[in-house]
Structure 1
Amino acid sequence: MLMKAETSALLIVDIQQKLVPALDGASALVEHSLWLSRVARRLDVPLLVSEQYPQGLGPTVAELQPLLDGAPILEKLHFSAAREPDLFLMPGGDRAQFVVCGCEAHICVLQTVLDLLAQGRQVFVVAEAVASRQPANKALALERMRQAGAAIVSREMVAYEWLERAGSELFRAVSREYLR
């Protein structure tokens, strides 16, 4: 199955100020999630953002804040964002496809992905845009999500599938801005 911009939402899971510094590959996680968010905004793909207990872990990192203007933020206590009914009431929450990035891969991302799959959603996990404190936990989480039916993808796969074709002004603009 291909990712389609008109049926996708980008779900950013718990990329929060007090959690990110403890992650292996934290700067890459933020950089790739920021890139995905910019491409999603450019292609009118809704952004959904979750924050795990923000009173303790803080808000979403400052680098992502400018892109979140108007994006709904789901405050949660469940590890799985999909256990919170408000996720599906948010603009874009009714989409059939969820492209997922965030942390921690083996906790909140994993549980969210498994619950989305159980609800019949198509789920695409962006490998370079998820992180855990320990690389082994990320690797195990990616394998488990793959076995459960999630597609493990790269950020360029997402962008090119959302674009669908070359030759348009939109393709040229996105290519200039993000794909070089």
Structure 2
Amino acid sequence: MRPILEDEAMLIARDRSALVLIDWQARLLPALEGSEAALATAGRLLAAARRLSVPVLATEQYPKGLGRTDPRLGEALQPDEVLEKTYFNAAAEASIATAVERLRRPLLVLAGAEAHVCVLQTALGLTARGYQVAVVADALASRRASDKELGVERMRQTGVQIVSAEMVLFEWIGEAATPEFRDLLDLIK
């Protein structure tokens, strides 16, 4: 194994990262602008994470009221990967903070709803705890496009990386001449 070069430390490498899916709850999705496309993108990220052995966590904001994770994602999650929360900032929830620590991954890739509330507050909370955070812009939804835009802009201003799903997929793969690249082409196209 060759040493990691300084410029490569900025990459979203699969052995340094984990995927955190925030509040993709079935009852919430119909109220969110662009939720179908964003959910499909989150599903591609989840499928890639599974194939590449990237750890995954998912949160559910007050599931008694908002329901469980949409089955399009939920069926691919293990019960111990789905954590309930009442704080908008998932990092403030003790069980989630502990679960993230146990992953031992310094970089967290976030996708979820709502961009300007729970995703924003979680990104800020995780950053304050010393994690690098990358938020997948095309895997975000909010009730209004203007709120999503403001949430993304605020995250960017506070040092959170704003990325696309394709950026994450290609950085997780790393090289074209690999079985992983051929295996994941269906998620990229």
TM-score class, shorter-chain normalisation, is over 0.9
User: 2:35 touches 2:140 (CA, 8 Å); kept in 1?
Assistant: no
Partner of residue 51, structure 1: 60
User: 2:90 touches 2:97 (CA, 8 Å); kept in 1?
Assistant: no
1:110 aligns with one of 97, 102, 120: 120
| Equivalent-residue separation in structure 2 for 1:25 and 1:84 (angstroms) | 28
| Equivalent-residue separation in structure 1 for 2:187 and 2:41 (angstroms) | 11
Partner of residue 69, structure 2: 60
Partner of residue 95, structure 2: 86
Query: What percent identity do the matched residue pairs reach?
Result: 45
What SS class does the counterpart of residue 75 from structure 2 fall into?
A: helix
1:71 Cα shift? Answer: 5.0
What SS class does the counterpart of residue 20 from structure 2 fall into?
A: strand
Render the CA deviation track for 1:28-65: whole Å, top value 9, x for unaligned. Answer: 12111111100111110011000000000000001112
Partner of residue 4, structure 2: none
TM-score, normalized by length of structure 1? Answer: 0.95
The code of the aligned residue for 2:58 comes to V
| Equivalent-residue separation in structure 2 for 1:70 and 1:7 (angstroms) | 23
2:84 aligns with one of 64, 75, 92: 75
1:129 aligns with one of 122, 134, 139: 139
For the pair 1:36 / 2:35, whether they are aligned, the reply is no
TM-score, normalized by length of structure 2? Answer: 0.91
| Equivalent-residue separation in structure 1 for 2:15 and 2:96 (angstroms) | 18
2:16 aligns with one of 3, 7, 27: 7
| Equivalent-residue separation in structure 1 for 2:128 and 2:26 (angstroms) | 30
The gaps in structure 1 that reach 5 residues or longer are none
For the pair 1:160 / 2:185, whether they are aligned, the reply is no
Partner of residue 145, structure 1: 155
The code of the aligned residue for 1:105 comes to A
User: 1:24 touches 1:135 (CA, 8 Å); kept in 2?
Assistant: yes
Q: CA RMSD in A?
A: 1.3
The gaps in structure 2 that reach 5 residues or longer are 1-9
1:137 Cα shift? Answer: 0.3
| Equivalent-residue separation in structure 1 for 2:93 and 2:104 (angstroms) | 13
For the pair 1:96 / 2:106, whether they are aligned, the reply is yes
1:85 Cα shift? Answer: 2.2
Tell me which stretches of 4 or more aligned residues in structure 1 moved more than 4 Å.
none
| Equivalent-residue separation in structure 1 for 2:36 and 2:76 (angstroms) | 17
Alignment: residue pair count: 179
What SS class does the counterpart of residue 5 from structure 1 fall into?
A: coil
1:70 Cα shift? Answer: 4.9
2:32 aligns with one of 5, 8, 23: 23
